[in-house]
Structure 1
Amino acid sequence: MQNKELLQSYHMAGLFTLTLRLVIGWTYFSAFWRRLILENKLDPDTAGYIGEKFNHFLPNALGIKPIIEYLVTTPDALWWAMAVFTIVEAIVGLFIMMGLFTRLMSIGVFSLAMGILLGSGWLGTTCLDEWQIGVLGVASGFTIFLSGSGKYSLDYFLQTKNYKITKHPIFSWLGSGVLPIRFTVLPKIVFGGALAILALTLYTNQYFHGGVWGTLHNKSVKPKIEITNSTLDQDVISFQIFRVEGADVYGSFLIGIKIVDGNENTILELDQKALANFPKENIKNRYVAQIKSGKHSMIIPLGAKANLEIREEKLAHLSNGSYKVILTDISGLTWTDTFEINK
């Protein structure tokens, strides 16, 4: 009798989380639906390729930068990773909406949400979108694991029809029903898990956005380019640019590159027309998201990194001293790097 009442309590808890299960399931299944049914976003040669979106995560990801960087520098591995990720999202989303192997799928929800949180939690031009999706997904996965699914689920159907699989002890861990955890221990697990997820929420909110104390910041608002490794070799100047901040839905538009000496005298200047016709072979892209010349400027997507080379005869005759490379965005923002000539 006691076990039956306990099972009914779990079924009721699973019933209460039905809305959560359906909504969180659709958020993941819809990713598959958008990428393969409504459009084909797994084609590397088309606009909107999901691999480029993944590349946008790189500059400020938390803890998983090496994984992201490896994938965006290895296009074949990236494609397979995106394909597997999309299939997993489809299975997890569909199964959790149907309430089939609910607890196993909730682990999938938790894991996918954690990946979103760590990779893209810093993105979001208005409402910290990706961070909110990530932390709510983590909390939802944990909650659904505890509750399982209730009356409106395939797990419940299998249990009420006494299918053999539901009699196996592992079904309680992978499907629904009574968790085989002592009642005196379960509240501690719930409380500890809730505190851990709250701590994760506060930590990532502070790390990505300064949302707990100090100055608020949003790295998705204004473009920022890091320019490094400026060197001069004979008549060729080369430098590396890496766009690390700004909105992920459009690029930074570079309209000027200038080289000046220590007295701010202009040595060389490329305007937006020159950048719109910048030689493709002089842009050495590192990642899937690529810097390229556009119609009116040079376009630098979020997460793109490349070495740029400029060949000009007058550079070979520069005297010793300190020089600066200045990049100018269409917004008026500028970024600078210095280099020395010691012949």
Structure 2
Amino acid sequence: MATTMQGGSPQTTESKHLWRVMAIGMLAVRFVQGWIYWGGGSRRFIYGPQKINPAGHWMAYKFQTAMPGAILGTSHLISFLLHHFVLLYAGVIIFSAVELVSGLMLISGFLTRLAALLTLGLSFTLMLLFGWQGATCIDEWTMAAANFGMGITLFLVGGGAYSIDNWLLKTKPALENKGWFRWLGGSEPLPLSDAAFKKLALTLFWIAVIFIVVTYSYYRGSVITPFHGDPTGVKVHHVQMRDLRIAPDGSVTV
């Protein structure tokens, strides 16, 4: 039974029922994804504001610890930000704010698909920066991978049950025929034919497969190569004492 729009025509009663059932089934996913990111942002802005206070072990320290294993050039970006405090602090505030707002949007079901895309971007970024961390359970990779898959799923199916999106739709039924509301909200199917929806869903599925498998293989092996501890080789010493040179001014070079 179709759950997407057929050439712009309204859904049948049966397809609306199936869509509603699917939305209720996604309720826990929407809440959990939202709470994860709401928790990250609220810990800094509300419950632990010292985390965004530029003193001691504030959030920028977390970025610094990511540098050894950050991939796709993100380590250079971190290094640049650490040398430019204003940009660094702005980045910390913006990142935390996006977490806070997108999490709250998912919890409340407001513009659910837009919120899902925001968390998808956060998950991608966190994977590049912190995916290598976690010696035994690769904790950061696991969280980023799970959130990435949840973000894609919420974008595709909405999860609009018990949501502000649903309330808006009941208040203003004309929103059902607005393309922007279907793409950004979560109460209605995407404005696509079944064939187009399947193509989009499979494209996102293969993006997720490639992204998850490749990062897992790089960080820990266990796909086509044996398991390895971590890609940074923190237990391997690349510089030894005999490689150091002390200059007359007291500086040390390698």
**TM tier, smaller:** 0.7 to 0.9
* Counterpart for residue 3 of structure 1: 11
- The amino acid across from 1:103 in the alignment is R
- The amino acid across from 2:217 in the alignment is Q
* Counterpart for residue 180 of structure 1: 191
Partners in 2 of 1:10 and 1:225 — Cα distance?
Answer: 57
Partners in 2 of 1:178 and 1:28 — Cα distance?
Answer: 25
* Counterpart for residue 50 of structure 1: 59
Deviation at 1:8, TM superposition (A): 3.6
Q: Is the 8 A contact 2:51 2:58 kept in 1?
A: yes
User: What pairs up with 1:238-249 in 2 under 5 angstroms?
Assistant: 238-239=252-253
- The amino acid across from 1:92 in the alignment is S
Q: Quick one: structure 1 residues 185 and 45, their matched pair in 2 at CA, closer, same or farther if it must change by over 3 Å?
A: same
* Counterpart for residue 122 of structure 2: 112
Partners in 2 of 1:129 and 1:32 — Cα distance?
Answer: 19
- The amino acid across from 1:182 in the alignment is S
Is residue 2:108 matched to residue 1:98? yes
Q: Quick one: structure 1 residues 163 and 85, their matched pair in 2 at CA, closer, same or farther if it must change by over 3 Å?
A: farther
Deviation at 1:187, TM superposition (A): 1.6
Is residue 2:71 matched to residue 1:62? yes
The alignment yields a C-alpha RMSD, in angstroms, of 2.3
Deviation at 1:234, TM superposition (A): 3.1
2:222 to 200, 211, 221: 211
Q: Is the 8 A contact 1:209 1:218 kept in 2?
A: yes
TM-score with structure 2 setting the length: 0.85
* Counterpart for residue 73 of structure 1: 83
Poorly superposed stretches of 4+, deviation over 6 Å: none
- The amino acid across from 2:104 in the alignment is L
- The amino acid across from 2:148 in the alignment is V
For structure 2, list consecutive stretches of 5 or more residues without a partner in the other structure: 1-8
* Counterpart for residue 233 of structure 1: 247
Q: Is the 8 A contact 2:31 2:106 kept in 1?
A: yes
Partners in 1 of 2:36 and 2:62 — Cα distance?
Answer: 17
The structure with the greater share of residues assigned to helix is: 2
* Counterpart for residue 193 of structure 1: 204
Partners in 1 of 2:130 and 2:164 — Cα distance?
Answer: 33
Q: Aligned with 1:131: secondary structure?
A: helix
- The amino acid across from 1:21 in the alignment is R
Deviation at 1:73, TM superposition (A): 2.0
- Percentage of matched positions with identical amino acids: 25
* Counterpart for residue 92 of structure 2: 82
Q: Is the 8 A contact 2:132 2:219 kept in 1?
A: yes
Higher gyration radius (CA)? 1
- Deviation per residue, 1:113-172 (Å, 9 max, x gap): 000111110001221001011111111111000111232111111112226555532100
* Counterpart for residue 157 of structure 1: 167
Deviation at 1:37, TM superposition (A): 2.2
Tell which deviates more after alignment, 218-227 or 78-87: 218-227
Deviation at 1:58, TM superposition (A): 1.2
Q: Aligned with 2:11: secondary structure?
A: helix
- The amino acid across from 1:238 in the alignment is V
Deviation at 1:2, TM superposition (A): 5.7
Q: Is the 8 A contact 1:12 1:150 kept in 2?
A: no
The structure with the greater share of residues assigned to strand is: 1
Tell which deviates more after alignment, 226-235 or 148-157: 226-235
Q: Quick one: structure 1 residues 31 and 221, their matched pair in 2 at CA, closer, same or farther if it must change by over 3 Å?
A: farther
Q: Quick one: structure 1 residues 225 and 26, their matched pair in 2 at CA, closer, same or farther if it must change by over 3 Å?
A: farther
Q: Quick one: structure 1 residues 235 and 82, their matched pair in 2 at CA, closer, same or farther if it must change by over 3 Å?
A: closer
Partners in 2 of 1:153 and 1:226 — Cα distance?
Answer: 54
Higher relative contact order, chain-length normalized (CA < 8 Å, sep 6+): 2
TM-score with structure 1 setting the length: 0.64
* Counterpart for residue 213 of structure 2: 202
